[in-house]
Structure 1
Amino acid sequence: MSFIRTLRGDITPEELGFTYSHEHIVCRPAFWAERNADDLLLDDKEKSKLDVEDFKKHGGKSIVDATAIDYGRDVQAVKEISEELDIHIVGTAGFNKSFLWDAKVKEELKPIIGNYQTYAEWIDAARINELTDFVIREVEEGLEGTPFKAGQVKFGTGYNRITPLEEKTLRAVARAHHETKAPLHSHTEAGTMGLEQIELLVSEGVDLSYMSFGHMDRNPDPYYHEQIAKTGAYLCFDGIAKIKYAPESTRIHCILELVRKGYENQILVSGDTARKTYYKHYDYGLGLEYIIAKWVPRFIDDANRQGFDGEKLIHKIFVENPARCFTFKK
């Protein structure tokens, strides 16, 4: 039986609807809190909720919250937003990337992960199988001791490198995937190391059709994207609206290049909206409504001008592809 696991329980793939595939809704990353980087703390549930509500008003149905334990999840707040707005939210088990692991472990987590001072100490001390068991519990029992279960498992690597601890978490997450059949997602810093991640995943026997690679538009290289797509994996273009990295024309070009090559069934799109200044109701940013309300019409027009069926591609990218990507196939 195939299903998608949300914070409110399991649903059928057909129930998912229009989906953002990589967002952050309420989180207080310890790494940034320790450095007083207020912009990176999404710490007001009600303001986050208003942005999610904007997304829903424009027809949005589901959001994948890619916040792992080391990025300061507020599982309860996100679950409440899901309930109060009647919107599906998929939670995330696993890990992010190594530089965040210098942050101190929250006191309330110590009964769950042990009496370590930092995430790096915990990951270094734990055996791979212990980390695997932790991820499995978050999928099958609940995130951080709550009854709200994760719907995907995640690992991450840094810019142009994979540290020993990152390889350790990758292997732990891969083994948790084998046990749970949860879909896999990876953080690639600036879109790098995707092919190297693939080598490690293959060594763990992972079927890459379960896998989505984040931040692909941070490395806008169509050849590189094709090499990843050839494996059967999904590519997540989740930097929409971040013009400081590239104009929208570059992102759309990369997406349509994959379509031209026959990989339209492996494309996901989202905003990775993880700063107050990106949110409308925190600090006047474009907000969670931007992609569905503004970017989608622009994409349709651009795609149509280039001879594609823009509306059909939007349905595929935001409805059909997420429904397959985030499914547990047991």
Structure 2
Amino acid sequence: MSFIRTLHGDIRKEELGFTYSHEHIVCRPAFWQERGEDDLLLDDKEKSKLDVLDFKRHGGRAIVDATAVDYGRDVQAVQEIALETGIRIVGTAGFNKSFLWDAQIKEELKPLTGDYATYTQWIEAKSINELADFVIREVEEGLEGSPFKAGQVKFGTGYNRITPLEEKTLRAVARAHHETKAPIHSHTEVGTMALEQIELLKSEGVDLTYLSLGHMDRNPDPYYHAQIAATGAYMSFDGIGKIKYAPESTRIALILELVRKGHEDQILISGDTARKTYYKHYDHGLGLEYIIAKWVPRFIDEANRAGFDGQKLINKFFISNPANCFSFKK
């Protein structure tokens, strides 16, 4: 039996619908808050909700909120947005990357994490299995002690390196996955270290068809992508709209090259919209409507011109692939 766990309960995977696979909706990362980086604080529930409603108006049905505990989640606000908009939202248990862990742990998390000042101190002090138990509770009981359960587990690594603490959280997340059967998502910094992450997960006995790897378009290397795809993992092209990193033509070419090689069932698409300046209703950015309203028609046109069925591919990337990727298979 397969199901998807949303903040408001488990659903059949066929109910998920058109899905963005990696977004951030309301979050106040302590690391950025302590440094006065206001652009990286999505701190207004009503403005975030307006962007979610734009997505819904264009036919969107679900969003995977990839915000882990160390990135300043606001579980209450996000579940309220899900309830008030009717958009299904999948929450995330687990961890991000190590440089964020120097930030102060929120006071309300102290009863759950223990009385540690920073995330680094907490992760250093706990064993792999103790960290796994924390992740398991967030999947099976609720995020940050709430009744709203996570629908995926996450870890992250840095640019061209994996620190000992990042390996520790990776192994904790792998063990939580074995216990819960939750899908796994990884943060790769600028698309690096994916193959190294995969080797570590294999050493923990993880079936890689449960894994999605983020930020693949930040490393626009078709040979590298083919190596990753050969493992059976999902690949998330989640920088759509971020022209400062690459034009859309580059992303579309990378995606179509994977399709040519037979990997269309492993591709996910999203925007990782994590700044005020990316949101329409915070600061006049492209907003959550951009992919579904503007990028999708362009992709269909380019795919059709290249000899593919563009609409069929869109249905895979946004409907059937997320439904399969984010399923608990018990």
TM-score interval, normalised by the smaller of the two chains: over 0.9
User: What corresponds to 2:128 in structure 1?
Assistant: 128
User: What corresponds to 2:171 in structure 1?
Assistant: 171
- Report the CA distance between 1:39 and its aligned residue: 0.1
How far apart, in 1, do the equivalents of 2:71 and 2:318 lie?
25
How far apart, in 2, do the equivalents of 1:57 and 1:214 lie?
26
How do 1:120-269 and structure 2 match up within 5 A? 120-269=120-269
How far apart, in 1, do the equivalents of 2:311 and 2:148 lie?
34
How do 1:48-59 and structure 2 match up within 5 A? 48-59=48-59
Q: Name the SS of the counterpart of 2:232 in structure 1.
A: coil
How far apart, in 1, do the equivalents of 2:243 and 2:85 lie?
30
- Report the CA distance between 1:13 and its aligned residue: 0.3
How far apart, in 2, do the equivalents of 1:242 and 1:236 lie?
14
How do 1:55-70 and structure 2 match up within 5 A? 55-70=55-70
How far apart, in 2, do the equivalents of 1:161 and 1:309 lie?
39
1:283 correspondence with 2:283: yes
User: What corresponds to 2:29 in structure 1?
Assistant: 29
- Partner AA of 2:26 in structure 1: V
Alpha-carbon RMSD: 0.3
User: What corresponds to 1:79 in structure 2?
Assistant: 79
Q: Name the SS of the counterpart of 1:104 in structure 2.
A: coil
User: What corresponds to 2:321 in structure 1?
Assistant: 321
How far apart, in 1, do the equivalents of 2:303 and 2:3 lie?
32
- Partner AA of 1:204 in structure 2: E
- Partner AA of 2:224 in structure 1: Y
Q: Name the SS of the counterpart of 1:123 in structure 2.
A: helix
- Partner AA of 2:33 in structure 1: A
User: What corresponds to 2:272 in structure 1?
Assistant: 272
User: What corresponds to 1:92 in structure 2?
Assistant: 92
- Report the CA distance between 1:328 and its aligned residue: 0.1
1:106 correspondence with 2:106: yes
How far apart, in 1, do the equivalents of 2:222 and 2:93 lie?
30
TM superposition score normalised by structure 1: 1.00
TM superposition score normalised by structure 2: 1.00
Q: Name the SS of the counterpart of 1:93 in structure 2.
A: strand
Q: Name the SS of the counterpart of 1:155 in structure 2.
A: strand
Output one character per residue of 1:85-140: Cα deviation in whole Å (capped at 9) or x when no partner. 11100000000000000000001100110000000000000010100000000000
- Report the CA distance between 1:152 and its aligned residue: 0.1
Following TM superposition, the consecutive aligned residue runs of length 4 or more in structure 1 with deviations greater than 4 angstroms are none
User: What corresponds to 1:17 in structure 2?
Assistant: 17
Q: Name the SS of the counterpart of 1:308 in structure 2.
A: coil
Output one character per residue of 1:21-56: Cα deviation in whole Å (capped at 9) or x when no partner. 000000000000000000000000000000000000
Output one character per residue of 1:58-95: Cα deviation in whole Å (capped at 9) or x when no partner. 00000000000000000000000000011100000000
Q: Name the SS of the counterpart of 2:246 in structure 1.
A: coil
1:311 correspondence with 2:317: no
- Partner AA of 1:158 in structure 2: G
